[in-house]
Amino acid sequence: MDPALELAHAGADVTIAVRDPKRGAEAQATLAGVVPAARVAVAALDLASLASVAAFAERALADARPIDLLVNNAGVMALPKRVETSDGFERQLGTNHLGHFALTAQLWPRIAASAHARVVTVSSSVAYFGKVELDNLQSERHYGPMRTYAQSKLANLYFMLELHRRAPGVVSVAAHPGASATNLQRESNLSSWFVRTLGQSAEQGAWPSLYAAVADGVGGTFIGPRDRFGMVGPPKQAKLPKRALDPGLAAELWTRSEELTGVRFEIPGAAVSRAG
């Protein structure tokens, strides 16, 4: 149950943002084959590049229509060595958190223009083991593939919750796919083995994201699979990691993210969290 497919089937205008135009065209053709009347566009976007994010946002803003739903789901996982993006960010943090932060901020005028706006941020169950270290945010002092990945996915939850606090008129919700068989695990042999042994299909892993995209009353929550300790099965509300419930750190990360990306949210009357 792919979210893009289901949303297109429901009559939504869907834009698939992709790094690889060829794969994007293949996805578009697949959707058209299943839903001939689907209104699906493909647009180039590399979340590891602030220039690509800005170019995508500029094109989107040129379209005067509101954005009812944004699903932030790009992911890089457990790179064996520390690698930097073209902007000098550690690649996992740069792609998984900073790219999405900058994208959402630059699309904000069109998101805020919707009467039913929603932002879904896709995190991971690995966020439960994460720790955001503001003095080592770029993993320059010490780098560990899964440790750094976990930090980036916990950062997703800080972002989701802080957006929920600052923009109560917009539904901000997070989801995670559990143990799902995608190409995200290609850098981690342990993760690949775990998913093959105990996991579920990519289609099943998309259920929480789709639920987060359409369900009522989910603002500020974390949606994940129901069974096997939150690893597989139909979606339900999951418990947020305790570390994610620190509004002071969330506000600091938000400020640092604005400084690093050079992009600021324009949210009139935003309620800003403070360290207590």
Tokens coding 237: 């509300």
Is 143 considered catalytic here?
Answer: no
- Per-position DSSP letters for 185-238, written without gaps between them: GGG-HHHHHHHHHH-B-HHHHTHHHHHHHH-SS-TT-EEEEEETTTTEEEEEEE
Cβ contact 176:122 at 8 Å: yes
Output DSSP code: residue 90: B
Backbone angles phi, psi at 191, to 5 degrees: -65, -40
Q: Across the strands, what pairs with 237? A: 223
Catalytic residue among 128, 149, 158, 211: 149
Taken as a whole, the chain contains a residue count of 276
For the annotated catalytic residues, the residue numbers are 149
